[in-house]
Structure 1
Amino acid sequence: MGNPVLYYMRCVTAVAILMLCAVYGTIASIVCNIIGKQHLSQWTTARCYYYAMKFGMGIDVKVIGEEKLDNKPFIAVSNHQSALDILMLARMFPKGCTVTAKKSLKYVPLLGWFMAASGTFFLDRSSRQKSVDTLNRGLRQVKEKKRALWIFPEGTRSYATDLSILPFKKGAFHLAQQGDIPIVPIVVSNTSTLMNPKNKVFNRGVMTVKVLDPVSTDGLTKEDIGAFSEKIRESMVETLQEIGYSKPVNETNLPQDYIDYVTKKRVAEESEDSKSKGASTGVSA
């Protein structure tokens, strides 16, 4: 029925790892700024966090199609589920890439200091114009320096326990259209089997991430953005249903949606096996 004590112990350990990596990141960012390599700040800190979580928490990330992140500039869009999205970024964050974040994170001790020093674009959600100005500044940097910008178009963590993705906000797609640069869709397997606060889940296991083909914005107009973003979302939902859930080593708990999914899949496979055996028997007769 779950192990809440282990869940909270793992939560405390994960926060400690994050804070230690934030300290490292703040120092690394200062050094990178001094030597004129600020664009490497988030990349080096990401790698530090990935290995700390992999060996300290037993959670790994398998990436399919990572080579598609080699050709910059681009705007990456991915589904946004939980705090484990940070680990996903840590594993595959390209050099010269940066992220957007809500402005309130800027004032979080250690983590906010690192994000500010490493060139994160903070969005003021109370002012649309300020957010637009920040994103336009990010777009100029992406184009001029051939870098990448990573955006979560759902706008907030979904904490989904099923294979779904929230509706997309259009900001990332407007930026890509204005800059005439491609969108790279990235799909992360459902991570509620590894971390989910509602169900007290914090397990070891493996996340699967699939990088889809870049989508060109050549010839795209503002009027096309709605249909364009929805088409990309549909392809991401289809991919999510294909890769399914992150593979857990259950030590704390599992969400009911995952249990139902596994049961349904097993029944379907048994039914298929039964039909196959029946057909084989019929041929033999």
Structure 2
Amino acid sequence: MMLEGKVAIVTGAGGGIGREIALAMALAGAKVVVNDIGASLTGEGATSATPGQQTVAIIEQRGGTAVANTDSVAEWPAAQRIVQTAMDSFGRVDIVVNNAGILRDQIFHKMSPEEWLAVVNVHLNGAFFVSRAAAEHYRRQGSGAYVHMTSTSGLIGNFGQANYSAAKLGVAALSKSIALDMQRFGVRSNCIAPFAWSRMTSSIPAETPEQKARVARLQQMTPDKNAPLAVFLASDAAKDVTGQIFAARHNELFLFSQPRPIRSVHKEGGWTPESVAEIALPAFRAQFQPLDRSGDVFSWDPV
């Protein structure tokens, strides 16, 4: 019971990865606020309390304790209500899992401002809003854990996801900033880049043989494979782990590097555009990063 006595908020917990994390945290002893607005994959159209209520029902059937919440993470007052639900229901909050997300994929030169803002608002602003709403409680009690869902689409790259990629790389930077700012209060912040076949990945094209092969690999990676890492990062067993980026891929776990200088050149008297081209460019070129996508880097079959 690694989370015995703790209270967790899991956003986007009406299905997929979020539901599996909520279930696993409840089994590990946590009381859980199951947040989900019950919207479509794009975040458009009618909303429903049913997905979140179904997750709560499963938790209760297994002997756990949970309450549902249908507020949107993308609005500051609503995010405050999500955290207040934990306080009103269970008297405290110890864990925030920022998992809620939508997709509006579009090739960059066709992406509309609305498509950009909708995705950034949920993923990046939502992660900030819910985390910020919990921060004062964490500070007062001298403890707390954040687990944010980032993505290899942001960490590495992908086609047609400028909005999603930018938001997810922003989440990684947000997590590091939280880790730095709140370490003195006993608060930890880490990221997971999850691999799973879920509603969030069901829109991946599967037309060419290469695309079909990639989807087949993803379908082997069930959402529950991400839950053990999330439970660990939320637990006291990870009390010394903060500011890190992990990934869970079927039965594999990864620790990601973070950007650091890899090559430097110096020129007495400074640089001109011409000397940059003549001296710096040849020195740097061997260390240039390729235009990889997530599927290029993680190209082997899951084991």
TM-score (norm 2): 0.38
> Larger % of helix: which?
1
Higher relative contact order (CA 8 A, sep 6+): 1
TM value normalised by structure 1 = 0.39
